Amino acid sequence: MTSRTELARQIVQCATLHGDFLLRSGVRSKVYFDKYLFESDPVLLKSITLAMVDLLPPGYDALAGLEMGGIPLATLLAQHTGKPSLFVRKQAKSYGTCKIAEGGDISGRRLVIVEDVVTSGGAILDGVAELRRLGAQVDLVVCVIDREAGGVDNLAKVGLTLNALYRKSELEAAGAAA
């Protein structure tokens, strides 16, 4: 198994971009973590999700991967844990099943939200509000990277705890040490 420090270095080397980027939160950043670069690398994705297993609590019913980056993470976490995964859309389709979450019933189930990178937590807040409206129990979010830009506090305001594999500052330190 890859050490935590080595895994951080691999994520930094694979997925850190420098430039001028507009984030979903509306904030501009000089550093961008392109999660699709680490999620499309099967070896790195496996190492990341194996490390994320330790972030999961006992007693949850299913993993809920948020569209789009949370879905591959939730799928591979399901492989490691044996728990089912659900796929949560940004909005319900207007055709077919018309569901916000695909892959099974959510009412009454204790879900763990799976996300790739958290900045302000806006996408998570939107998804959780809808899941709770439909009867899901949600109190935990796991992610690969917390950008340390208000997400923890914003999620806490609605009773959500964020367990991040890495904080932005940890990745920056690992990148400097590489």
With beta carbons less than 8 A apart as the criterion, state whether 22 and 119 touch. Answer: no
CATH of the domain spanning 4-177, picked from 3.40.50.300, 3.40.50.2020, 1.20.120.520, 3.30.230.70: 3.40.50.2020
pLDDT along the chain (178 residues), means of 10: 89 94 85 92 97 97 96 98 96 83 95 96 96 97 96 98 97 75
pTM for the whole structure: 0.93
The CA distance from 72 to 74, in Å, is 6
Would you state the pLDDT for residue 97?
A: 82
Query: Rg of the chain over CA atoms, in angstroms?
Result: 16
Q: Facing residues of 140 across strands?
A: 112, 161
Distance CA 137, CA 112 (A): 9
> In the prediction, which pLDDT does 125 show?
97
- The pLDDT score that the predictor gives to residue 177 is 57
